[in-house]
A = this chain, B = another copy of it.
């Protein structure tokens, strides 16, 4: 935790926040801060600043928070991910939040097990702690939003056409894609990107065709077949490098 993330509603009108959860424990036990010490604090979807510790007990930590300055920019990449098994999803959420993603669409695909959509991780925003962990790690405050789409066709046929115009680039990672990332984007690019990544075993032909009809350019990551969690990090890092 390189940043103590707080929700705007947690701040009282004097800029004081009282932490009673894992954040208190982390301050006390991992960082070992004492009264008067300062720590980096960020407000979810807000600015970053610092907090001065006013009091620490075994139950609560009280911080005087002072944040100002510009909002972190909204990440320029949104992600469509064929829903992986819960354990992998947790790691993907944390890592994508660390790398900076605006929105994550978790979708059904032919090779996604239906049971994954029953995971408690997808209920009542149970995914939130994993995203927060990624932000706290990367010292970012822009919380990715997440939506779950248990049926492929309504997602790709009804929802996708409405959002595509928001993006300058819609990309489909597909091992059989002829082009690579530099071919489809150029060695420098700008604008918003919507990136779709398939399940273990890949997209089926019908899915590739639907994405392509919707305007997605497919590209290959090369001959190596990567696990989804590895591929997501690799592609977000490559997009960051090519971005102007």
Contact = CB atoms under 8 A, between A and B. Distances in A.
Interface of A: 2, 95, 98-100, 137-140, 181-182, 187, 222-227, 230, 233-238, 240-242
Contacts of A98: 224, 226-227, 230
B242 A237 contact: no
B187 A225 contact: no
A142 to B, nearest CB: 11
A230 B233 contact: yes
A18 B235 CA distance: 38
Contact of A224 (B140, B182, B187, B234): B140
Copies in the complex: 2
A192 to B, nearest CB: 19
A108 B14 CA distance: 46
A224 B140 CA distance: 7
A226 B138 contact: yes
Nearest to A72: B223
A138 B241 CA distance: 23
Contacts of A234: 99, 233-234, 236-237
Given A137-B227, A187-B187, 14 more contacts: A2-B225, A99-B226, A99-B230, A100-B224, A137-B225, A138-B225, A139-B223, A139-B224, A181-B241, A233-B234, A234-B236, A237-B238, A238-B241, A241-B242
A226 B139 CA distance: 9
A237 B237 contact: yes
